[in-house]
Amino acid sequence: MEHLVTPDLPHQAGKITDDIRPVIARSFIRDAFDSITRGRPGYHIWMGILTFFMLAGAYAYSVQLSEGLAVTGMNDRVSWGFYISNFTFLVGVAAAAVMLVLPTYILKDVDFSKAVLIGEGLAVSALIMCLAFVTVDLGGPGRAWHLIPGIGRFNWPSSMLTWDVLVLNGYLFLNLTIPFYILMCHYQGKHPNPKVYVPGVIISVFWAFCIHLVTAFLYAGLPARPFWNSSLLGPRFLASAFAAGPALIIIVLSVIRRYTTYKVENVTLGKIALIVTVAAQINLIMLGSELFKEFYKPTHHSESAVYLFFGLHGFGALKPWIWTAIGLNLIATAILTLNPLRSNHKWLLPACALLFLSIWIEKGMGLIIPGFIPGPWGKIVEYAPTWVEIFVALGIWAMGMFIFTLLVKIAIPIETGVLRYQPAKPSQTKN
């Protein structure tokens, strides 16, 4: 990121004392507030739309708090539904930031430097959405005390859910502090000290892989659910994450360079698109391996897969979901595989959107729900999200996009050099 820093300001000739740090912090907060409250009409309309969906989600959540989880489509047979489906997918989106962090900070590839802070902002937003989906799935925030060590029963280290809580919060901390330190340095016109942030970057790289592997182990460690009990689940989670997350980043970067002065070169998008392509191809290979295992010599352990793809005993609510996902996935991967199409933004952006949507379906409704169907005794109880779940989910997605927009609105003026700390003149200080 060093090439983005403007020349040092006059006040930086001397060392910044502890007395001036609160002044810089107050100036940063004031400038950040000014930045997020100003913008074109389109920006305010966008934030207004997101606010509307957040309010609609809050109303739906109030209904759930009042009536209980009975207003959702979940039941004793299918105890994880739309909320956990979105949670699982978003963990992958958050983990995908490592595909930008690794080449930028470790491999020193400057072509990724324009995208890395955007990717980390996306990871922060995705992690906040993950925690929100877990909270609403609990039925209410009052039940979260079970997760507090010393008060509730944390069940560490035996519970994979406990590990999931630890790695998600740790990854959120890393993705908040590292970009914040770099932005604060750039805000003051200084070069970030690698000795400060590089150790955290190295930890975050390993942490990114851990958060999604732990989430996969959460499912794979349940032997009573044979649909999830696969050693391929962890690697498949990573492959789909490194396809969907960077695909979303390409779309976001394209929007940012279209409507702001932030310059993102085609070579940057091209390298990210290549990551998406390889990850999407690997994801399809793993999907094919799973299908071979389930259907070449099917056993009663294959009934969940049979229900998902072809229906079982007259039940087949998920068939349209999974076949739509596979169709979109094949189309998107085919477009991305052909270099002339991948290099053309008229094809690249729709392909990324199709791939993102297909993996959202495949990894959510196509993975979580069939794990419960049929039940251990063979009984089939189907699941469909209710209006309450849909609006709560829309509200959480809107909240995540709202937070991400605010982060971008602060980061871009700093990275472009428009927003810098301006020390008060001596005469102003006396007044």
Please give the chain's pLDDT, 431 residues, in tens.
444 444 444 445 445 566 678 888 899 999 999 999 998 999 999 999 999 999 999 999 999 999 999 999 999 889 999 999 999 999 999 988 888 888 888 888 888 887 888 888 999 999 999 999 988 998 877 777 777 767 777 777 778 878 888 888 899 999 899 999 999 999 998 899 888 888 988 898 888 888 889 899 989 988 889 899 989 999 999 999 999 999 999 999 999 999 888 888 899 999 999 999 999 999 999 999 999 999 999 888 999 999 999 999 899 999 999 999 999 999 999 999 999 999 999 999 999 999 999 999 998 889 999 999 988 888 899 999 999 999 999 999 999 999 999 999 999 999 888 888 887 666 554 44
Copy the structure tokens of residue 186. 């750039």
Residue 132: the pLDDT is 93
CA distance 397 to 399: 5
* Integer angstrom CA distances of residue 235 from 139, 202, 231, 387: 31, 21, 8, 34
Neighbours of 186 (CB within 10 A): 25
Phi, psi of 72 (to 5 degrees): -95, 175
Which secondary-structure segment (H or E) carries 201? helix 194-220
CA distance 94 to 101: 12
What length is written for the chain? 431
Residue 428: the pLDDT is 52
What is the secondary structure of 56-93 as a DSSP string? Answer: HHHHHHHHHHHH-GGGSS--SS----HHHHHHHHHHHH
Within 13 Å, how many C-alpha atoms sit on residue 360's CB side?
A: 15
Residue 5: the pLDDT is 44
Residue 350: the pLDDT is 96
Neighbours of 246 (CB within 10 A): 31
Residue 148: the pLDDT is 72
Q: Closest Cα to residue 90, out of 406, 403, 327, 382?
A: 403
Q: Closest Cα to residue 207, out of 163, 162, 171?
A: 171
Copy the structure tokens of residue 319. 């068939």
Phi, psi of 149 (to 5 degrees): -60, 140
Residue 425: the pLDDT is 64
CA distance 170 to 206: 12
What is the secondary structure of 258-325 as a DSSP string? Answer: HHSS----HHHHHHHHHHHHHHHHHHHHHHHHHHHHHHSS--GGGHHHHHHHH-BTTB-TTHHHHHHH
Provide Rg for the chain, Cα atoms.
Answer: 23
What is the secondary structure of 348-359 as a DSSP string? Answer: HHHHHHHHHHHH
